[in-house]
Amino acid sequence: MFKILEARELAANIYLMVVEARRVAKKCQPGQFIIVRMDEEGERIPLTICDYSREDGTVTIVFQTVGAGTMKMAGLKAGDSFHDFVGPLGCPSEFVNEPQEELGKKKMLFVAGGVGAAPVYPQVKWLKERGIEADVIVGAKTKDLLILEKEMEAVAGNLYVTTDDGSYGRSGMVTQTIKDLVAEGKRYDVCVAIGPMIMMKFVCKMTEELGIPTIVSLNPIMVDGTGMCGACRVTVGGEVKFACVDGPEFDGHKVDFDQAMKRQQMYKTAEGRAALKQQEGDAHHGGCGQCG
Ligand code: NAD
Ligand code: FES
């Protein structure tokens, strides 16, 4: 069992939990994720890692309530436990393995949309701990939905907050701020964009025009998280990839976002899942237990 040490609501329907998970905390790296289950029969819920402490043996997760599983999870309090807390899963962010000297020369821009601020935070923190300061744009629909602002401020070189409705910080979507910063003379060697699929699609469209290589973190439907079921299939550079083992981070300019978004919608209905199984044949694996 994995004990919850802290549980609080960060914004409407967005929750933070600090969980005692020593083995995961010892090994996890920025970019990776975990899968939780509340009980033996529970749904497997993949979540990106927001923070970790190797000393305390804790992992911090942030999640938004989107379905029955996450709604039930939101009811857990400090002192309750998860039945499973599996990880770290997926590949760490590529920059973790880059020579520090080379990395230090790069001007990096992180773009976090909504709950995407959670997986961006450990990446920027990891860089800061090594003396590398990155610029960060955090976008939220409104001021009330903005999360982790103080935490991000503490690790970012420059932090640009933007709200779609202009209720706080700059006004407009994250793409507007990217455009403004470049127009103001900022130059970036790499961009890391994490947030809703539609945001990552439009950030990539813009950075492609601006000539900025861009990494995105994909969060398609996942079931086993170990490459067995085929649920998290995506197309990158014309090749089939599985986000849980080949990603979750990919070259954003090569991702087929339209297909990924369509697939995400199809997975929601039994009819859609049956169609996917038929269309994807062997590459779907069929072992997800969802497709009949
Ligand atoms: P949201 O809808 O509030 O959007 C966040 C920000 O993204 C907006 O404020 C805006 O700046 C930007 N954005 C949205 N649409 C855009 C567009 N068309 N063009 C340019 N910018 C745009 O975000 P949310 O409600 O927090 O998003 C929830 C979604 O994010 C869920 O589907 C969740 O699964 C996903 N998510 C993804 C990851 C990941 O690892 N990729 C992590 C957490 C959450
Ligand atoms: Fe990736 Fe099953 S979740 S293959």
For the stretch 198-243, pLDDT in tens is 999 999 999 999 999 999 999 888 888 888 888 889 999 999 999 9
pTM, 2 dp: 0.93
Q: Inform me whether the pLDDT recorded for 151 exceeds 60.
A: yes
- At position 130, the amino acid (one-letter code) is R
N residues, the chain:
292
70's CB contacts (< 8 A; 6+ apart) are 45, 63, 64
Give CA–CA dist 126/10, Å, rounded. 22
Task: Tell me the ligand closest to 225's alpha carbon.
Answer: 2
pLDDT grade for 275, boundaries at 50, 70 and 90: confident
Give CA–CA dist 287/81, Å, rounded. 28
- Buried b / exposed e over 127-157, threshold 16 CB at 10 Å, is beeeebebbbbbbbeeeebbbbbebbeebbb
Mean residue pLDDT of the chain comes to 92
Q: Inform me whether the pLDDT recorded for 101 exceeds 60.
A: yes
Residue ranges of alpha helices (H) inside 130-187 are 149-155, 174-183
Question: 203: CA distance to ligand 2 center in Å?
Answer: 26
pLDDT score at 274: 77
Question: 228: CA distance to ligand 2 center in Å?
Answer: 6
Calculate mean pLDDT across residues 161-174.
Answer: 97
Calculate mean pLDDT across residues 92-98.
Answer: 95
Q: CA separation (Å) from 26 to 67, 91, 115, 190, 248?
A: 30, 15, 24, 28, 20
pLDDT score at 292: 47
Q: In what order do the strands lie in the sheet with 190-194?
A: 170-171, 158-163, 135-140, 108-113, 190-194, 214-217, 249-251
% of the chain residues with pLDDT over 70 = 96
pLDDT grade for 270, boundaries at 50, 70 and 90: confident
pLDDT score at 289: 55
Ligand 1 pocket check for 173: Cβ under 6 Å: yes
Identify the helix (H) or strand (E) that includes residue 166: none
The count of other CB atoms within 10 Å of the CB of residue 39 is: 11
Calculate mean pLDDT across residues 65-80.
Answer: 92
Give CA–CA dist 161/67, Å, rounded. 28
Whether the Cβ atoms of residue 276 and residue 267 lie closer than 8 Å to each other: yes
pLDDT digits 0-9 by tens, 130-142:
999 999 999 999 9
Closest CA relative to residue 29, chosen from 4, 47, 52: 52
Question: 259: CA distance to ligand 2 center in Å?
Answer: 17
Ligand 1 pocket check for 225: Cβ under 6 Å: no
Give CA–CA dist 261/222, Å, rounded. 14
pLDDT score at 290: 55
Closest CA relative to residue 182, chosen from 220, 208, 154: 208
Pocket test for ligand 1, best of 64, 194, 206 (most atoms within 8 A of CB): 64
Identify the helix (H) or strand (E) that includes residue 68: helix 68-74
Q: Whose CA is nearest to atom 7 of ligand 1?
A: 113
